[in-house]
Amino acid sequence: MRAKNYELKPGAQDGITAVKEQDQSTRLSPARRQGKAGAQVAEVSGKALGRMVEAFMKLPGIGRKSAERLAFAVLGMQREEAAGIAQAILDLKNNTRYCTRCNNITEDEVCVICRDEKRDRSRICVVEEPSNILILEKTGSFRGCYHALMGAISPLDGIGPDDLRIDGLMERLKPGGIKEVIIATNPTVKGETTALYLSQLIKPLGIAVSRIAYGLPVGGDIEYADESTVQRALEGRREM
Amino acid sequence: MRAKNYELKPGAQDGITAVKEQDQSTRLSPARRQGKAGAQVAEVSGKALGRMVEAFMKLPGIGRKSAERLAFAVLGMQREEAAGIAQAILDLKNNTRYCTRCNNITEDEVCVICRDEKRDRSRICVVEEPSNILILEKTGSFRGCYHALMGAISPLDGIGPDDLRIDGLMERLKPGGIKEVIIATNPTVKGETTALYLSQLIKPLGIAVSRIAYGLPVGGDIEYADESTVQRALEGRREM
């Protein structure tokens, strides 16, 4: 449909003031900005909504606009559904912990993967974070066990090998029977440093150490790949 | 740093199976997919994390990956901080309601804008949703009052004028003293239909009815604007 061409009558802008000067919010720290965003919402739509916006802004990747959108979404939900989300948050904090063997997320002392007798216990895949285990499991192509280091070596951040769960990994390798350690730390300087450190530590034990492959992402376009990735993809080429 | 060129030993792929065939999840309904995503997480990382992922997936714009990222973020939070988010959700549902006059979000019977005696009560800006009020307030350039219709006319969805809070708006116009109604419904077919309907209803009362302007978004690039927008921008040109 075509809309009518509404013309503002003279004087129709009486109640309208000029665009305000950019306020100083961009100079504030994130925490201050967060408080400010919540305060602004609270001013217009009530304190509870303001607090909800501030709460959502504590989550990673959720900025001011997303937080507002999410807050209004919660507001529009059935009461039970909203209460369900609140309960899920509380349950998550109360019921979960890290597997005493591999540091995976679990609700028991030892995680479901470490307990599974069908898994290949002779291969351990080492990752930085417990969340990485989930990503690898989704591929469905690895049937061994895992070990989360709970971080990566990063001298600049003051994180050395002793700050990671490397002792626990070495304990697991000691009894023997481990054929391979696959290092799946991130393809970053930190992850690479960690991988190198681990390989120097583990190889003397006579255990094969491998590193996940670099290369072009599936579905990616070679035109958009950075030079180092293309270089690694070339180096890692396989016969067809 | 340069990484070493790790070469897989023959047999190092023993524990690795071929990439699984694409499963049928893409054919499932969103609800089924949601349950499936939660179930997969629950399998690897415990039921509480699975439920958290499912809970986050109920929010708009939060897909499976984002939900997982958020769930792990909550897991990594201090207990009080996570509890704070849960409490904010419960408070939001328990403490907020719609303003009896303009349908804005409020914690009282009448919202802060309707109560503010400094606002220009002779101008009412009509919006579709209460959340739109917040957006307009942020501009700081409107000092009148608002009215949220709680939707827009949409015959295809079976939503007619009687399903909206139009009666409440007309009640507010009746006593007189209103100089202008600014219609700020969305620039969509639904919003346009609603605007047209309202203008036909309100104009006979001798009240000026205006519609917010169409045009290029500030900071936008004319090259990326669609034809209708450019056309509207031309029609709405103003002398410089």
pLDDT in tens, B171-181: 999 998 999 99
pLDDT value, residue B30: 53
ipTM: 0.72
> Could you tell me if A42 lies within 8 Å of chain B, comparing CB atoms?
no
Which residues 101-120 of A have a C-beta within 8 angstroms of B? 104-107, 111-113, 120
Q: Do B107 and B115 form a contact (C-beta atoms < 8 A)? A: no
Residue B225 has pLDDT above 70, yes or no: yes
pLDDT digits (tens, 9 = 90+) for A101-160: 999 999 999 999 999 999 999 999 999 999 999 888 888 888 999 999 999 999 999 999
User: Which residue among A73, A85, A86 places its CB closest to the CB of B60?
Assistant: A73
Residue B44 has pLDDT above 90, yes or no: no
Dihedral sign from CA coordinates of A27, A31, A34, A36? negative
Q: Do A108 and B94 form a contact (C-beta atoms < 8 A)? A: no
Which residues 182-201 of B have a C-beta within 8 angstroms of A? 189, 192-193, 195-196, 199
The confidence band for B46, taking pLDDT boundaries of 50, 70 and 90, is: confident
Q: What are the backbone angles phi and psi of residue B63, rounded to the nearest 5°?
A: -90, -170
- Residues comprising chain A, all counted: 240
> Could you tell me if A45 lies within 8 Å of chain B, comparing CB atoms?
yes
pLDDT value, residue A31: 54
Q: Taking Cα atoms as reference points, which of A144, A8, A37 lies closest to residue B182?
A: A8
Relative orientation angle of helices A47-57 and B79-95, to the nearest 10 degrees: 150
Task: Tell me how far apart the alpha carbons of residues B225 and B111 are, in angstroms, rounded to a whole number.
Answer: 37
pLDDT value, residue A10: 39
All residues of chain A having their beta carbon less than 8 Å from the beta carbon of residue B86 are 85-87, 89-90
Type of residue found at B34: Q
- SS (HEC) of B123-151: EEEEECCHHHHHHHHHHCCECEEEEECCC
Please compute the mean of the pLDDT values over residues B145-159 and round it to a whole number.
Answer: 94
Q: What are the backbone angles phi and psi of residue B171, rounded to the nearest 5°?
A: -60, -40
Q: What is the pTM of this model?
A: 0.71
Give B130: exposed, middle or buried? Use CB within 10 Å, 0-12, 13-18, 19+: buried
Residue A71 has pLDDT above 80, yes or no: yes
Tokens of B222: 């004319």
DSSP secondary-structure letter at A182?
A: E
Residue A15 has pLDDT above 50, yes or no: no
> Could you tell me if B64 lies within 8 Å of chain A, comparing CB atoms?
no
The confidence band for B11, taking pLDDT boundaries of 50, 70 and 90, is: very low
Q: Taking Cα atoms as reference points, which of A99, A141, A144 lies closest to residue A126?
A: A144
> Could you tell me if B128 lies within 8 Å of chain A, comparing CB atoms?
no
Please compute the mean of the pLDDT values over residues B93-106 and round it to a whole number.
Answer: 93
pLDDT digits (tens, 9 = 90+) for B185-195: 988 899 999 99
Task: Tell me how far apart the alpha carbons of residues B167 and B174 are, in angstroms, rounded to a whole number.
Answer: 11
Tokens of B115: 């109560």
All residues of chain A having their beta carbon less than 8 Å from the beta carbon of residue B193 are 1
Residue A140, Ramachandran bin (φ over 0: left; ψ between -120 and 50: alpha; else beta):
left
Please compute the mean of the pLDDT values over residues B105-119 and round it to a whole number.
Answer: 93
Average pLDDT in chain B: 83
CB contact under 8 A, A96 and B75: yes
Please compute the mean of the pLDDT values over residues B2-21 and round it to a whole number.
Answer: 39
The confidence band for B234, taking pLDDT boundaries of 50, 70 and 90, is: confident
Task: Tell me how far apart the alpha carbons of residues A74 and B35 are, in angstroms, rounded to a whole number.
Answer: 19
CB contact under 8 A, A45 and B71: no
Q: Taking Cα atoms as reference points, which of A147, A217, A210 lies closest to residue B13?
A: A210
User: Which residue among B9, B75, B139 places its CB closest to the CB of A208?
Assistant: B9
Residue B35 has pLDDT above 80, yes or no: no
Task: Tell me how far apart the alpha carbons of residues A187 and B206 are, in angstroms, rounded to a whole number.
Answer: 68
pLDDT > 70 in chain B, percent? 85
In angstroms, the separation between the Cα of residue A223 and the nearest Cα of chain B is 23
Which residues 198-227 of A have a C-beta within 8 angstroms of B? 199, 208-211, 214
pLDDT digits (tens, 9 = 90+) for A19-58: 333 343 434 455 555 667 778 888 888 889 999 999 999 9
Tokens of B239: 């002398």
Relative orientation angle of helices B47-57 and B64-75, to the nearest 10 degrees: 130
What is the DSSP pairing of strand A144-148 with strand B180-183? unpaired
Average pLDDT in chain A: 83
Q: Do B71 and B42 form a contact (C-beta atoms < 8 A)? A: no
Structural domains in chain A, CATH included, are: 29-94 (1.10.8.420), 118-235 (3.40.1360.10)
CB contact under 8 A, A68 and B107: no
Residue B197 CA to its chain's centroid (Å): 24
pLDDT digits (tens, 9 = 90+) for A201-228: 999 999 999 988 888 787 777 777 788 8
The confidence band for B42, taking pLDDT boundaries of 50, 70 and 90, is: confident
In angstroms, the separation between the Cα of residue B186 and the nearest Cα of chain A is 12
Q: Taking Cα atoms as reference points, which of A173, A171, A149, A172 lies closest to residue A161?
A: A149
pLDDT value, residue B156: 92
Most A-contacting residue of B13, B40, B85 (CB-CB within 10 A), to test interface: B85
Task: Tell me how far apart the alpha carbons of residues B162 and B166 are, in angstroms, rounded to a whole number.
Answer: 7
CB pairs under 8 A between A and B: 281
Please compute the mean of the pLDDT values over residues B5-28 and round it to a whole number.
Answer: 39
CB contact under 8 A, B68 and A131: yes
pLDDT value, residue A33: 59
pLDDT digits (tens, 9 = 90+) for B129-150: 999 998 888 888 889 999 999 9
The confidence band for B8, taking pLDDT boundaries of 50, 70 and 90, is: very low
